[in-house]
A and B are shown apart, each in its own frame.
Chain A
Amino acid sequence: MAVYERAYRGYAGGYTREASRVVALARHGFQRVFGARLFVAFYAACFLPAVVLGALIYGSHNANVLAFLGMEPGSAVIISSSFFMWFLAWEGKFFGFLLALIVGPALIAPDMSNNALPLYLSRPFSRTEYIAGKLLVLIGLLSAITWAPYLLLYALQAYLAGWEWTKDNLNVPAAIFVGSWIWILCISTIALAAPAILKSKLWSRVFMFVVLFALAAFGAVLAEGLGLGFGHNLNVFQMNLVVWSEMFDVPIGDDSRPLWSAWATLIAACAVSVGILYRKIRAYEVVR
């Protein structure tokens, strides 16, 4: 199709590997989300907990800062695995959730509501690759505010605190990494499944918000009011914290549900979301 001739011509060049097509879709997703200035501002704010933790780590090891604050070395904040867990929980539960709430529906809903799926799926590009491409955007964004900076902060703390502290907190890096991934996968799949059902950005966000918080409230009523312990399992946020407390070895004062049931809740949430995605992400829906 030379422009000057305006005539149809074939293509004799090479083709990319199949895996790189998933990356192409993810790249397109990143371009779209970072195209909105408001989102860029929000995303910058998502690094706030990590910046605060970084400042605390640095300050607690800096004599000048401690002197300025009138504190003695050792009497300042004690950086421990508990510190990392609660900061990560703040990051994931608040900023991570909001990020997924904003980005997830914006990735899928426009394709669903404008019949774009046949255009994607009529290419050598499967449903799995489509879902993976969209998931990659959320995973990338959430990773950049969770495990990636927190592992760096752990490295900083280990460097400043020395071998004794590192030896006592060897479980923390694995807990940061694995714990973040559990939450990222859980919240990302939920954030993609909601628009796959509702096909609208706004209603998907409302749905996600209402379902997660309403389920948690309903679960609390079941557990506290009716004495049905499994009600706590409806609170995905709490169940995630139960899993994290085991990984970080930090007691959270909630032994209402066994660890296995917390895992089961998170796995079930992911499985249901993935099931919905596979059911709804189709070129055409057959009307029964």
Chain B
Amino acid sequence: MESVVELDGLGVRLAGRPILKDLRGALSGRSIGLLGPNGAGKTTLLHTLLGFHPASEGTARVLGRDIRSDSKAIRGMVGYMPENEAFIPGISAVRFVRLMAELSGLPRSAAMERAHEALFYVGLGEARYRNMETFSLGMKQRVKLAQALVHAPKLILLDEPTNGLDPPARQKMIKLIKEIAASGEVRLILSSHLLRDVEECCDAALVLKQGRIAANCDLEQERRANRKFLELETHGDDGSFVEALGRLGCEWASQGNGKLKMILTNGVEIRDLYRLAAERSVQIRRLDYKRDSLQDIFLKAMEDKTDGRL
């Protein structure tokens, strides 16, 4: 898949302080999670990609365009949902979203049409004529999402989209983000310090730590790779069972008391294990995928000494 963002030694200094240091690598995937503890530089990276902060060293390319020379063209292809509460007071949601669409270059009639559609899409159809000052935090977040996608960008940057939302509102937001990513028409970068948000929505993740890249992983690949690690708990004589597993080509290790760890080889399915166990009168009482969760990846990245390279 074509890279969304290519980082080429990108460094950013704000008020004389280095915030991002020598970032290198490529971010690809349909939806990319940007993870890191507070102050890691996630928001600064998004702002730099949008041209809000100048790069002090190196550069980056967004959808093939250089942030140093093509900042305006990049902003034409990108939708941005900022972290903080941001709106224009005293106007209705539909007027606000329409204005944002017009500023992105949509003609008046198209902007109006898409403003209505975007607000329906994010679930604010009935409230679209209300003054935004009367909106709850969750509604304001959804208006921000509507304005980020109203002009049909190729890439959407979401900065902490679930910030301050209660669980039902968070679920709605996550569902919307997953739908947008699944549409295949737009790619997104989701910045969050919440691992669960990234795990639910993203198929790749970039972990930042103190302004450097701590990990850059393809979550889909990780999921696929770890799918074949199994932990079993059996009851009965498992000697013949593990021998049969060995004959199928599976690696295994016994932990005693009927507990087994094994790796499924290609061509062997879970149902084959149940068949083998049934043939030998062995009960499989527990079967777990043993996989590195995003949390494991994140914690490992936080422990590792980062050198800014992938």
**Chain A residues engaging chain B, CB cutoff 8 angstroms:** 1-3, 6-11, 13-16, 18, 21, 24-25, 28, 32, 110-111, 114-116, 118-126, 282-284, 286-288
Contact = CB atoms under 8 A, between A and B. Distances in A.
Nearest to A18: B105
B180 interface: yes
B216 interface: no
B120 A6 contact: yes
Prevailing SS type, chain A contact patch: loop
B197 to A, nearest CB: 19
A15 B80 contact: no
Contacts of A116: 86-88
B9 interface: no
Q: Which 7 A-B pairs have the closest CB atoms?
A: A11-B152, A1-B117, A15-B105, A122-B80, A124-B76, A24-B102, A115-B86
B198 interface: no
B299 to A, nearest CB: 30
B106 A16 contact: yes
B47 interface: yes
10 contacts: A10-B185, A11-B114, A13-B110, A16-B107, A114-B85, A116-B86, A120-B103, A121-B75, A122-B50, A283-B52
A124 B73 contact: yes
Contacts of A11: 106, 110, 114, 151-152
Contacts, number: 127
B104 A1 contact: no
Interface of B: 14-15, 47, 50, 52-53, 72-73, 75-76, 78-80, 82, 84-91, 95, 99-100, 102-108, 110, 114, 116-118, 120-121, 125, 144, 147, 149, 151-152, 179-180, 183, 185-186
A9 B185 contact: yes
A124 B72 contact: yes
Contacts of A13: 106-107, 110
Contact of A123 (B15, B75, B114): B75
Contact of A122 (B78, B91, B107): B78
A15 B103 contact: no
Contact of A283 (B50, B102, B125, B151): B50
B104 A124 contact: yes
Given A119-B88, A284-B47, 7 more contacts: A6-B121, A8-B179, A9-B183, A24-B99, A25-B99, A119-B80, A126-B72
Contacts of B84: 115
Contact of B102 (A21, A32, A126): A21
A120 B73 CA distance: 15
B121 A8 contact: yes
A122 B80 CA distance: 6
Nearest to A13: B110
Given A13-B110, A123-B103, A124-B105, A115 B82 contact: yes
Contacts of A125: 75, 103-104
B14 A3 contact: no
Nearest to B105: A15
Given A3-B117, A32-B91, A115-B84, A286 B15 contact: yes
B43 to A, nearest CB: 9
A33 to B, nearest CB: 11
Nearest to A7: B183
B52 A121 contact: yes
A121 B86 CA distance: 12
Given A6-B121, A283-B50, A32 B86 contact: no
Nearest to A15: B105
Given A1-B118, A3-B120, A16-B105, A110 B90 contact: yes
Nearest to A8: B183
Contacts of B86: 114-116, 118-119
Contact of A118 (B78, B79, B82, B102): B82
Contacts of A2: 117
A123 B51 CA distance: 10
B90 A124 contact: no
